[in-house]
Chains A and B, each alone.
Chain A
């Protein structure tokens, strides 16, 4: 079975400051990794994904994440946040075999203050 842990339920940060949202996963098989974002009153939107290759993945809106297999982590980072980045962020994994099922973490609310 797979599981995803997002330790921080809420992260407050000032505008233009850097931010890191943490994600750790557990799986006995190889997985793909994803970050989704949900802006207020909107659906989930894919931010970035790691399928293979370079462990540093760049996504939309200036976000990036680094896959660390030894630490089973996939932390999300942005060097300078904007007010518009205020949203809830979800880390998810999916098995590399035929399963399409996404396993999500509990989400992290990023609150960017002016």
Chain B
């Protein structure tokens, strides 16, 4: 069974440009999450999808970030325009519907560098 897949693995863009990160969750997982780790600090929650609906987007830093999950399958996270402080590793995770025993499976992450 394929795990959570993220594209690209690395991205280097200039300040002001646009970047789109993609996440393919494990098949059948309704829950999809985005997290970010900046400069070796803690991994911080960005948002949570249940199927195609945003369940919790309390961690989104500002309106330059737009997450979508059309059709409840893969998700994209667009940063427009990118700023230097957006650099970091963006993780995607997915999990099944049950709450108590839910294990979140993480992808390898996308390392974003804004120069």
Q: State yes or no: do A and B come from one complex.
A: yes
- Chain A residues close to B by CB (< 8 Å): 4, 36, 41-46, 49, 51, 90, 92, 98-107
Contact B102 A100 (CB under 8 A): yes
Which of these, B4, B44, B102, contacts A43 with CB under 8 Å?
A: B4
- B35 cross-chain contacts in A, Cβ below 8 A: 102, 104
Of the candidates B33, B41, B42, B108, the one having the most CB atoms from chain A within 10 angstroms of its own CB is B42
The contact of B91 among A41, A44, A99, A103, by CB within 8 Å, is: A44
**Interface of A: prevailing SS:** loop
A4 touches B42 (CB 8 A): yes
17 chain-A/chain-B pairs, Cβ below 8 angstroms: A4-B42, A36-B106, A43-B3, A43-B4, A43-B107, A45-B106, A49-B103, A92-B43, A100-B48, A100-B55, A100-B56, A100-B104, A101-B45, A102-B35, A104-B42, A104-B44, A107-B43
User: Which residues 15-48 of B have a CB within 8 angstroms of A?
Assistant: 31, 33, 35, 40-45, 48
The count of A-to-B residue pairs whose CB atoms sit within 8 angstroms is: 57
Q: Are A106 and B41 in contact (CB under 8 A)?
A: yes
- On chain A, the residues within 8 Å of B106 by CB distance are 36, 43-45
Contacts of B104 in A (CB 8 A): 46, 100, 102
Q: Which residue of A lies closest to B43 (CB)?
A: A104
The distance from the CB of A74 to the nearest CB of chain B, in whole angstroms, is 15
Q: A103 CA to B33 CA in the complex, in Å?
A: 13
